[in-house]
Structure 1
Amino acid sequence: MDSIFGSVDDLFLFCKVVEQGSLQKAAHVLNLPQSTVSRRLAALETRLDLRLLEKKGRELTPTEVGKLAFENISSGMEQIESGIESLTEQTNQVSGRVKLSIPHSFFRSFVAPTIEKFLKTYPKVHLDLVLNNDQSKPETDRDLLITFDIEDMDDMIARPIFTARHGFFASQEYVQQCGTISTPTDLAALDWVTIDQKNKLPFFRNGKLHEEHLINPRLIVNDLRAVIDAVSRGLGVASLPLRHAKEATNLVQLLPEYHRGDRQSFLVYKARKYQPNAVRVLIKALLEESAFLDKAITRRKDAN
């Protein structure tokens, strides 16, 4: 399709470069050679007699005119994408690329089987799986995020997926060194290993907040498996999800009548009227698996 500005594809390329922040990332998303993207953008600027993009450090950012062009054009490009995806949906094809950002521990303990089944069921879907604990806010309609922290995400859809019950754990060797631990005050005074820098720790009892204490973490490491390893080696005490802590054979639960409080995890994605079919199906699969997991956890709690 051509316009008075040339190929509409070139306008689409321009929008993708602005969204991705670089020619290389845009070329990867569009499955095009970087040289092709660069050549077509240069031709677009020549036809319009406007400078749309400029280098700032390692990033490619829009000029003031480029920002205005992007604001005016991007919504139209989304409508075109939505129309194509709607046609695909009507033919029941599930295809395209999806990005899912998730902590390592979530993937191993919860998501991996669901992802494997999903990819086998839909062979035309390509998945970019990012395993880390960094808060990566979804930028496009094909980005998904699983996280405990939805602060500053009011413009996103956040669907609850499962709840994690925590307990306080340390190695048998560390407990022997510490002596008697009978109150939250005793526990708060120990060496702590944490996954973040939050130092105010709530202690819940019988489902209600009982008291809060400040802790001074000796080690902060942003990976749950690394926290469990450190605690297993006697470096301190940590608040750990019960289902993960029980996988370590030498850990002892301290003050089992207390817990940190249930932590709610969320599946986060951009609000959009016409959601890509591949994203919609993956969201459904993750929500169904989380519902099954929550029921299994509830049955275990009732049994205990």
Structure 2
Amino acid sequence: MSSIFGSIDDLYLFCKVVEQGSLQKAAEVLNLPKSTVSRRLTALETRLGLRLLEKDGRELAPTEVGKLAFESLSSGIEMLESGIESLNEQTSQVFGRVKLSIPHSFYHSFVATTIDKYLKAYPKVQLDLILNDDQARPETDRDLLITFDIESMDEMIARPIFTSKHGFFASQEYAEQCGKISTPSDLVALDWVAIDKKNKLPFFHNGQLCEEHYIKPRLVVNDMRAVVDAVSRGLGVASLPHKHAKEASNLVQLLPEYHRSDRQSFLVYKARKYQPNAVRVLINALLEENEGWNHRHKK
């Protein structure tokens, strides 16, 4: 085939089948009959003289040639989609699909209300909300990530968002059992509940690092709400964001003159000159909520 004239639609269709993994799913995304998708793929393979797809159980998978074709075409297809979206967005409409990856407890505590308002204000937007603690590095121009760790986010835009201030908390009952706690050394000797296995704990006093200690957690659980719940039940002491600690009625702060370093979270996304309106509006909404939240919770 010496020209792609008349084949761009079918090449786009091929990429969608690879992305979705089946004719049926691709047909649903494209709002086409499954038979039409199958017929056009067959015609495309005939014109190219190449086998692009093969059966893999109940799904379709690209052949080795198909993988090369998809890798070569997908970035160009994305550019075409972005170009069309840019033309459409000149009318200032907010529409399309956006993906936001965020830790589960962070979502409920900080941005759920903002997301609700956003979806109600823009009914033509579809949001894929991924709630987990994995680093879901943004892959497309419509991917957003909220994270504390940006070490692996080279070439990404990372905007500071929420600043989390921490203190050391335990249940009233557990604190009474422990007796007097007057130094960081007393504190680290207690039972600890932690959200990760980073056991080196810095102690700050009046904003300055004064001591560092290692803790040996009895319980490690990768969800902040679960940590708060465990501490509330008297399983030990934990370093908690003040916002989370205030949500539990029976927690008391230990050594309030000490704290760990503030944790800064970031809103991460790919750099792009012409950003889809749906993404731009969500970014602005999250940053505005950040400013309001940080102002309300300054200590």
TM-score normalized by structure 2?
0.87
Structure 2 counterpart SS, 1:129: strand
2:23–2:37 contact (8 Å) kept in structure 1: no
Q: Which is further off, 249-258 or 28-37?
A: 28-37
243-252 vs 183-192, greater mean Cα deviation: 183-192
Secondary structure of 1:169's aligned partner: strand
| Counterpart-to-counterpart distance in 1, 2:100 and 2:225 | 20
Q: Deviations over 1:72-118 (max 9, x none)?
A: 32332222112211112111111111111222222222212211211
Structure 1 residues 7, 196: closer, same or farther in 2, change over 3 A? same
Q: Which amino acid aligns with 1:270?
A: K
Q: Distance in 1 between matches of 2:200 and 2:30?
A: 47
In 2, Cα distance between equivalents of 1:114 and 1:55? 43
1:178 equivalent in alignment to 2:174: no
Residues 25 and 36 (structure 1 numbering): CA distance in 2 closer, same or farther, change over 3 Å? closer
What is the alpha-carbon distance in structure 1 between the residues aligned to residue 272 and residue 226 of structure 2? Answer: 37
* Match of residue 235 from structure 2: 235
The CA distance in 2 between the partners of 1:184 and 1:119, in whole Å, is 46
Q: Is the 8 A contact 2:13 2:37 kept in 1?
A: no
Alpha-carbon offset, residue 268 of structure 1: 1.2
- Contact 2:98 2:127 survives alignment (8 Å): yes
**1:282 alignment counterpart:** 282
Q: Tell whether 2:21 aligns with 1:22.
A: yes
The answer for the alignment partner of 2:118 in structure 1 is 118
Runs (4 or more) in structure 1 with deviation over 4 Å come to: 31-38, 40-43, 53-64
Cα 1:31/1:16, change in 2 over 3 Å: closer
Distance, in Å, in 2 between the alignment partners of 1:76 and 1:168 is: 51
Partners of 2:192 and 2:236 within 8 A in 1: yes
- The alignment's TM-score, normalised by the length of structure 1, stands at 0.86
Moved more, 202-211 or 51-60: 51-60
Matched residue, 1:272: 272
Q: Any unmatched runs of 5+ in structure 1?
A: none
Question: In the alignment, which residue of structure 1 is the partner of 2:4?
Answer: 4
Deviation at 1:131, TM superposition (A): 2.1
Greater CA drift, 231-240 or 62-71: 62-71
Give the CA deviation at 1:264: 0.4
Q: Secondary structure at the match of 1:126?
A: strand
Q: Aligned with 1:217: secondary structure?
A: coil
**Aligned match of 1:108:** 108
Match of 1:134 in 2: 134
User: Which deviates more, 27-36 or 234-243?
Assistant: 27-36
Q: 2:245 corresponds to which residue?
A: 245
Q: Structure 1 residues 219, 282: closer, same or farther in 2, change over 3 A?
A: same
Alignment CA distance shift 1:187-1:93 (3 Å): same
Say which SS state the counterpart of residue 170 (structure 2) adopts.
strand
Amino acid at match of 1:91: T
Give the aligned residue type for 2:82: S
Describe the superposition over 1:191-235 as per-residue Cα deviations: whole angstroms up to 9, x where unpaired.
211111211111111112212111111111111111100000011
- C-alpha separation in 1, matches of 2:245 and 2:251: 7
Displacement of 1:149 in angstroms is 1.5
C-alpha contact 2:23 2:34 (8 A) present in aligned 1: no
Q: Using a 3 Å threshold, how does the CA distance of structure 1 residues 6 and 219 change in structure 2: closer, same or farther? A: farther
8 A Cα contact 1:141 1:269, kept in partner: yes
Aligned partner of 1:231: which letter? V
Residue 295 of structure 1 aligns with an amino acid whose one-letter code is: H
- RMSD of the TM alignment (CA)? 2.8
Whether the aligned pair in 2 keeps the contact of 1:5 and 1:44 (CA below 8 Å) is no
SS at match of 1:230: helix
In 2, the alpha carbon distance for the partners of 1:276 and 1:133 equals 26
Structure 2: state its 5+ residue gaps. Answer: none
Is the contact between residue 170 and residue 238 of structure 2 (CA under 8 Å) also seen in structure 1? yes
Aligned-pair distance for 1:41? 4.5
Q: Deviations over 1:155-214 (max 9, x none)?
A: 322111110000011111111222222211221222211111211111111112212111
